[in-house]
Amino acid sequence: MKASDLFIQCLEEEGVEYIFGVPGEENLDFLDSLSRSSKIRLILTRHEQGAGFMASTYGRHTGKAGVCLATLGPGATNLVTAAAYAQLGGMPMMMITGQKPIKTSKQGRFQILDVVDMMRPITKYTHQLASADNIPSRVREAFRLAEEEKPGAVHLELPEDIADEHTDSLPLKASLHRRPAADEKAVRAAVERIEQARSPVLVIGAGANRKMTSRMLHQFVEKTGIPFVTTSSARAFSTRPRPNSSVARRFRPATSSTGRWNRPTSSSMSATT
């Protein structure tokens, strides 16, 4: 099997639906293999940075790693801002970049940057594929790290000659990962602190953008009536309440009509947590 075909099969195994990116000479083998996939659609963008933001936003809203594609050199450097955005915002994203042949190159150092080292400070994982046989394990590792807590950006570099290699390796099955559960004592301590507070306020950040977190947080606000403010990254939280929700109504006044917070009962707080 050709290495680029194996790479696409690995992405299919991970449940990838879209790849956002810009074609280039160094990823032509990858694109050729992608053209034969019936499960993954290429979304062509006008700029690599746009592809990166599309992938990170896909990851933010679905919880699955969004995938973007760029070529070497300037194509790869254009992904840097989106990578930092995903890493800081806890958004699962995978970047795939091309590279000149690493075993026999006829073009000297033309547009060759150490992209792996460049990505290291702004990703959870970055790696250059030096053998077709390693593709399944590296893809599986990258997706695992991208989607596990705290989600973030990962990067794989596929050199031109490696993409053209042949291998007998097969894709690895995607593994199930779960969010870590909060320590029971820590939850109990938080409940006690909130019950004792005279005027509690929730400060909601970008983590509220995640699907499960947003749903649970809406339930928490509904049951407790605690007023909240959001950071700029979480502004959408207050504008998308659940049907028949009074979250938006409760958000406006910081206190009740008597100027005091209506403290919930211990049973309702415990049920919420």
Token duo for residue 227? 């007023």
Measured over the CA atoms of residue 146, residue 148, residue 151 and residue 152, the dihedral's sign is negative
- Cβ neighbours of residue 216 closer than 8 Å, sequence gap 6 or more: none
Residue 21: its pLDDT value, please? 96
Residue 103: its pLDDT value, please? 84
Closest CA to 75 of 39, 146, 128, 21: 21
Residue 173: its pLDDT value, please? 93
Q: Where are the domains of the chain?
A: 3-163, 184-272
Residue 59: its pLDDT value, please? 93
Residue 141: its pLDDT value, please? 97
Name the burial class of residue 1, with classes exposed (0-12), middle (13-18) and buried (19+) by CB atoms within 10 angstroms of its CB.
middle
For the 3-163 domain, the top CATH level (class) is: alpha beta
> Where does residue 15 fall: left (phi above 0), alpha (psi -120 to 50 degrees), or beta otherwise?
left
pLDDT tens-digit readout, 49-105: 999 999 999 998 888 999 999 999 999 999 999 999 999 988 999 999 999 998 876
- Nearest 5°: phi and psi at 71? -90, -165
Please state, in angstroms and rounded to a whole number, the distance separating the CA atoms of residues 208 and 217. 7
Residue 44: its pLDDT value, please? 96
Alpha carbon 124 to chain centroid, angstroms: 11
- Cα dihedral 53, 54, 59, 65, rounded to 10, equals -100
Residue 91: its pLDDT value, please? 92
Please state, in angstroms and rounded to a whole number, the distance separating the CA atoms of residues 193 and 75. 50
Neighbours of 105 (CB within 10 A): 15
Closest CA to 170 of 148, 139, 141, 126: 139
Instruction: Give strand pairing partners of 156.
Output: 96, 127
Closest CA to 147 of 181, 177, 121, 180: 177
Pairing of strands 66-70, 41-44: unpaired
What is the reported pTM? 0.79
Contact 263, 195 (CB under 8 A): yes
Which residues of the chain are under the pLDDT cut of 70?
A: 105-108, 238-273
Alpha carbon 244 to chain centroid, angstroms: 30
Residue 272: its pLDDT value, please? 47
**Counts of helices then strands in the chain (DSSP H, E):** 12, 8
* Residue recorded with tokens 């006829």: 106
